[in-house]
Chains A and B, each alone.
Chain A
Amino acid sequence: MHLFLTGVTGAVGMEMARWIVRNTPKARVYALIRAPSPVVLKARWSKLAAKLWPEASARPPEGQFIPVLGDISQPGLGLSPEDAARLASEVTHVIHSAANVELDAPLPEARAANVDGTRHVFEVVRSLRRLERVGYVSTLFVAGKRPGRFLETDEVHASDFVNPYEQSKYEAEHLVRGLMKQLPIAMYRLAYLIGRDDGEVTRYNSMHSLMRLFYQGHVGAFPGTPDSRMDLSSNDYAAAALLTLFLQHYQPGRTFHIGNGDAGLRLQDFIDTMTEVSAETERRWAQGVFLPPDVVDEDTYTLLRRTLLQTQNKQSHEVIRLGDTMYGHLLANQIFDAAPVHALLGERVKPPPAKQLLRDVLRHCVATDWGRNRI
């Protein structure tokens, strides 16, 4: 396999790189990395490799990973003619996982990376003469505010979106789906990734910001019901499931859901677990000074939200804005059906228990002060 991988510096991309080294030692990976010059590209790859494989003995053999200078925001990915020619003649597999995953990025910015970026990737994909298969990495949250059970076969909906990120990914899916008749593409929708199986956080995102605000006693209420689901998963699981499906169960034209399905974390379990783990290190949680946030209905939350936005308190506004990028899913009471993938992968690749993952990730966040300190 000669794999062209975008997004190797992202949370799932890094984990895919690790998985490939462990499981497919003969694979050759062309990893697209943004850099201003070949010198910086080399330095960035060296730094990333040292992070991915701290022990030299675990590192991939020379030549297994080939950093390629490029940028998905550029037509043709901004590849040099030499790199473009090399990819065109050698690449057999493609996984496009690069994306702007900032939930609060303005829609034009999100579209530029996630829709235009995907278009640019497929410009290159079309040029690959030995192409066998393409994997496009999407998100379960393309469901937007669509309520209820969301299936792998669900493609179009008229519901609104909770944030620009998922709208841009929804639009990108539409683009990719249009190419499926011409190219061998499978789509992989991932859960909300919050860290590695051992709790290490490699990329901090909005969920970690929410966890921090919760820990510091800034969150008073969540909208939804105690049974509203939060489909949180690990980078390791996402990478392992995606690559196993891609390499062993490839089905062009199909969409796969990689998440917890019916075992998604209940909102009340999220609150209880956060409270329990916060009490391990924060005296105010242990002593009941900070109280678990209440779960309130949409009307109550809307009134609370409007009121806090009318105050002069900037921190309150930040909490509200963060919630605005996520809480719509709690209100939609969604379950992202993952039964087909669970059936395909069976016991070989299983999602980590969500409560334990949350515990370990929060412990890591606290220990590192949300990435500010090294352990």
Chain B
Amino acid sequence: MNPSSSIRIHGIHYTLPERQVGLEQLSAEGRLVSTPETMRDFGFGDCRVSHVPATQLASTTLKALLERHGVDPLEVGLLINASVLPTSSMVPRGESLAEFPTGDNAHLGLFRFSSTRLQDELGLSNARTVGLSELGCVSLSHAVWLAHAVMEMEDLKYALCVNADVFPDGIKREVVYNVCSDSACAVLLSRDPEGLRLKTYHTLTRGYYWDPDGHQNELLAAYFPTGKRVLEKTFKASGLAREEIKLLIPHNVSLRSWEILSKFTGIPLEKIYTENIRPKGHSVAADNWINLKDVIDRGLVKKGDHVMMFSFGLGAHWGCSIVQI
């Protein structure tokens, strides 16, 4: 990334549903693949379940972010709506401005996009909108990277990235041995020099693992060695040594996987912020940014510190960035 870039991460806001569902209940509802004991052993506790659709979570979260930072919606030049689950990126039935089309126009229901709806609802009338999908849990990090790149090219004052995902009723909440929560997280980018600086973002996509069920064992085998290499390349690209990283901000996949990756990479587990895994679960693409906001709010990092953010998305995508506070 351009080392003299003036683009900064100006603010983060997230919404976690208040409803917490425990592992036993999830299991009783048939929403786990493994036993509750295994999931507990892997570091999970509760998951958050939303009663409202993803589009509504996204809208609420974006609105709160704009208000908190006093940003005029008309000054936002870009909105990237990054969702993991296809159902989260569609305006749900009965939620459109008009009635759901029927009869000969029923197919137009497929074109009810949440990105443009968000633009309208929030008054972001000068923002170009982009919907981003098929990136799994690296979606929001990828969105921030893309927004950063677009802001470098275009004279934009603000860009917004949002991720909101809500698991459909009845679907399992255990995804490759991780307990998944509903959530929304929005990131505001600006040119305010006080913001956080995205110094490096390294990604690796390995399409061989596109079928997470059919290639699950290969994926489990590749996860740690590939993660280790992505991490090493990120360090190399940043020119920073491990000791210069204050914290590794993870996505909230199983604590066990972090224990193993810690051993693979030699990064001590104490340096990995894993406190949110048990109470908040794996908020698919939002975790890193939720955790980043939490470590800042809790005073665990100070101005000038470097943090590393690592995530993995089915697909398969590995993503790793370094952010300077």
**Chain A residues proximal to chain B, CB less than 8 Å:** 216-221, 284, 289-294, 296-297, 299-300, 303-304, 307-308, 310-313, 315-316, 319
> Is B263 touching A299 in the complex (CB atoms < 8 A)?
yes
> Is B218 touching A303 in the complex (CB atoms < 8 A)?
no
Q: Which one of B41, B223, B264 lies within 8 Å of A296 (CB-CB)? A: B264
Interface residues of B in 169-196 (CB under 8 A from A): 177
The docked-state distance in angstroms from the alpha carbon of A284 to that of B222 is 12
The docked-state distance in angstroms from the alpha carbon of A67 to that of B211 is 53
Q: Which one of B216, B220, B256 lies within 8 Å of A220 (CB-CB)? A: B220
> Is A303 touching B263 in the complex (CB atoms < 8 A)?
yes
Q: Which one of B226, B229, B264 lies within 8 Å of A300 (CB-CB)? A: B264
B267 at the interface (CB under 8 A from A): no
Complex contacts, B293 vs chain A, CB 8 Å:
none
Cβ distance B25 to chain A, nearest Cβ, rounded Å: 20
Q: 12 extra interchain contacts, Cβ-Cβ under 8 A, other than A291-B226, A311-B220?
A: A217-B208, A219-B221, A220-B221, A220-B224, A220-B225, A221-B221, A221-B224, A221-B225, A290-B222, A294-B264, A312-B34, A315-B216
- Which one of B41, B42, B218, B228 has the highest number of Cβ atoms from chain A below 10 Å of its Cβ? B218
B126 at the interface (CB under 8 A from A): no
The size of the chain B interface, using a CB distance under 8 A, is: 26
Q: Which one of A292, A293, A300, A310 lies within 8 Å of B263 (CB-CB)? A: A300
B33 at the interface (CB under 8 A from A): yes
Complex contacts, A221 vs chain B, CB 8 Å:
221, 224-225, 264
Complex contacts, A284 vs chain B, CB 8 Å:
208
> Is B222 touching A291 in the complex (CB atoms < 8 A)?
yes
B206 at the interface (CB under 8 A from A): yes
Complex contacts, A303 vs chain B, CB 8 Å:
256, 259-260, 263
> Is A311 touching B177 in the complex (CB atoms < 8 A)?
yes
Complex contacts, B222 vs chain A, CB 8 Å:
217, 220, 290-291
Cβ distance A166 to chain B, nearest Cβ, rounded Å: 27
Digit string of B57-89 for contact with A (CB within 8 Å is 1, else 0)?
A: 000000000000000000000000000000000
Q: Which residue of chain A has the shortest Cβ distance to B254 in the bound complex?
A: A307
B38 at the interface (CB under 8 A from A): yes
Interface residues of B in 148-182 (CB under 8 A from A): 177
The docked-state distance in angstroms from the alpha carbon of A34 to that of B218 is 40
B217 at the interface (CB under 8 A from A): yes
Complex contacts, A315 vs chain B, CB 8 Å:
216-217
Complex contacts, A219 vs chain B, CB 8 Å:
221
Q: A319 with B33: in contact, given A220-B225, A296-B264, A303-B259 (CB under 8 Å)? A: no
Complex contacts, A291 vs chain B, CB 8 Å:
222, 225-226, 229
Complex contacts, B263 vs chain A, CB 8 Å:
296-297, 299-300, 303
Interface residues of B in 209-257 (CB under 8 A from A): 216-218, 220-226, 228-229, 256-257
Q: Which 4 A-B pairs have the closest CB atoms?
A: A220-B221, A315-B217, A300-B263, A217-B218
Complex contacts, B216 vs chain A, CB 8 Å:
313, 315-316
> Is B217 touching A218 in the complex (CB atoms < 8 A)?
yes
Interface residues of B in 27-45 (CB under 8 A from A): 33-34, 38, 41-42
The docked-state distance in angstroms from the alpha carbon of A299 to that of B266 is 13
> Is A289 touching B225 in the complex (CB atoms < 8 A)?
no
Q: Which residue of chain B has the shortest Cβ distance to A306 in the bound complex?
A: B256
Cβ distance B273 to chain A, nearest Cβ, rounded Å: 20
Q: A304 with B260: in contact, given A217-B222, A291-B225, A293-B225 (CB under 8 Å)? A: yes
Cβ distance B298 to chain A, nearest Cβ, rounded Å: 28
Cβ distance A45 to chain B, nearest Cβ, rounded Å: 42
> Is A294 touching B228 in the complex (CB atoms < 8 A)?
yes
Cβ distance A70 to chain B, nearest Cβ, rounded Å: 43
Cβ distance A312 to chain B, nearest Cβ, rounded Å: 6
Report 16 cross-chain contacts, Cβ distance below 8 Å, ordered by A residue.
Answer: A218-B218, A218-B221, A219-B221, A289-B206, A291-B226, A294-B264, A296-B263, A300-B260, A303-B263, A304-B224, A304-B260, A307-B42, A315-B217, A316-B216, A316-B220, A316-B221
The docked-state distance in angstroms from the alpha carbon of A313 to that of B218 is 11
The docked-state distance in angstroms from the alpha carbon of A297 to that of B221 is 16
Complex contacts, B260 vs chain A, CB 8 Å:
300, 303-304, 307
Q: Which residue of chain A has the shortest Cβ distance to B38 in the bound complex?
A: A310
Complex contacts, A292 vs chain B, CB 8 Å:
225
Cβ distance A231 to chain B, nearest Cβ, rounded Å: 25
The docked-state distance in angstroms from the alpha carbon of A262 to that of B216 is 38
The docked-state distance in angstroms from the alpha carbon of A48 to that of B259 is 53
Complex contacts, B208 vs chain A, CB 8 Å:
217, 284, 289-290
Cβ distance A97 to chain B, nearest Cβ, rounded Å: 36
Cβ distance A55 to chain B, nearest Cβ, rounded Å: 43
Q: Which residue of chain B has the shortest Cβ distance to A216 in the bound complex?
A: B218
Complex contacts, B229 vs chain A, CB 8 Å:
291
The docked-state distance in angstroms from the alpha carbon of A289 to that of B210 is 12
Cβ distance B128 to chain A, nearest Cβ, rounded Å: 34
> Is A307 touching B256 in the complex (CB atoms < 8 A)?
yes
Complex contacts, A304 vs chain B, CB 8 Å:
224, 260
Q: Which residue of chain B has the shortest Cβ distance to A294 in the bound complex?
A: B225
Complex contacts, A289 vs chain B, CB 8 Å:
206, 208
The docked-state distance in angstroms from the alpha carbon of A296 to that of B225 is 10
The docked-state distance in angstroms from the alpha carbon of A220 to that of B216 is 12
Q: Which residue of chain B has the shortest Cβ distance to A291 in the bound complex?
A: B225
Q: Which residue of chain B has the shortest Cβ distance to A220 in the bound complex?
A: B221
